[in-house]
Amino acid sequence: MIEGAIAKGLQYVALTDHYDLDMLSFPQVPQIDLPRHFEELAILKEQYRDKIQVGIGIECGWAKDVQDDYARNLAPYEIDMTINSVHLIDGKDCYAEGYYDELSLQKCYDDYLDSVIASLDAPYHYDSIGHLGYIMRKAPYPDPIMQYGIFGDKLDLILRTIIDKGVSLEVNTHTKSLPIRCLPTIEILTRYRELGGELLTFGSDAHQPTRLADKYNETVQRLQSLGYRYIFKYLSHEPIAHKI
Ligand SMILES: [Zn+2]
């Protein structure tokens, strides 16, 4: 991934492997070896320092019953950037077969947003809210886009809390087959700016080197047109502005 980022001319890349303790019952998701992850990244950060800045990162899959474990387990490590994400809703994986069966869009998205709201109180130090609107990625509804007109109250609560807490909203370009170019939607990014939101991180959610920085230029242009002036990288949990 680091070599791929250098090949693409990036100056910074944060490697934020999944840490999903709540997915222990899902054997298809292998658990990260946490000490080894941080140890190796610290070595690579040093090894590549003349070529690219490597952010030591992690993505926590929030769940209420494991949030204290995250806090305890992450405490010993020097981390540049932690993404806080919701992948499971009430313990159920929305990527799993049958998840959406007999769930209306309204109920499904309400449940997801309630989980995101609860995740904002996580007891560990997180920097960015991952892929807001993730529930849309696999949703089978004819029009899966999460409309602000319907979910505005919950979305506003999320955006205002993000702003109050001084954490970033991630702009994630891994949209699978959705008819949109990033998560959250432009509508939600517009609202975040209206509310005074400034802190944004860019995430390609690459999973493989070929998708690193995917749609970066077009995303930056879109953000500029919405009035954003910066995207932020994180070092030691500190946001560092990058002018766009
Ligand atoms: Zn994620």
Residue 102: CB partners within 8 Å, gap ≥ 6?
none
How many angstroms does the Cα of residue 116 sit away from the middle of ligand 1? 12
How many A from CA of 59 to the centre of ligand 1? 7
Give the pair of three-digit tokens for residue 133.
């609107």
Would you state the torsion angle of the CA atoms of residues 175, 125, 223, 244, taken in this order, to the nearest 10 degrees?
A: -120
The encoded tokens of residue 206 equal 């690459």
How many Å lie between the centroid of ligand 1 and the Cα of residue 241? 23
Q: Which residues pair with 169 in a beta bridge?
A: 129, 200
Calculate how far, in angstroms, residue 131's C-alpha sits from the geometric centre of ligand 1: 7
Q: What is the model's pTM?
A: 0.96
How far is the centre of ligand 1, averaged over its atoms, from the C-alpha of 172 (Å)? Answer: 9
Q: Which residues pair with 57 in a beta bridge?
A: 16, 81
Walk along the chain (244 residues) and give the pLDDT tens digit of each residue: 999 999 999 999 999 999 998 876 666 667 899 999 999 999 999 999 999 999 999 999 999 999 999 999 999 999 999 999 999 998 888 888 889 998 999 999 999 999 999 999 999 999 999 999 999 999 999 999 999 999 999 999 999 999 999 999 999 999 999 999 999 999 999 999 999 999 999 999 999 999 999 999 999 999 999 999 999 999 999 999 999 9
State residue 95's pLDDT score.
Answer: 85
Non-local CB neighbours of 104 within 8 Å, separated by 6+ positions: none
Query: 95 CA distance to ligand 1 centroid (A)?
Result: 11
Distance (Å, rounded) from C-alpha 184 to C-alpha 132? 5
- At the top level of CATH, the class of 59-243 is alpha beta
How far is residue 34's CA from residue 18's CA, in Å, rounded to a whole number? 10
Contact 75, 23 (CB under 8 A): no
Take residue 104 and report the two structure tokens written for it: 């209306």
Q: How far apart are CA 115 and CA 90, in angstroms?
A: 8
221 Cα–ligand 1 center, Å? 24
Domain ranges of the chain: 59-243
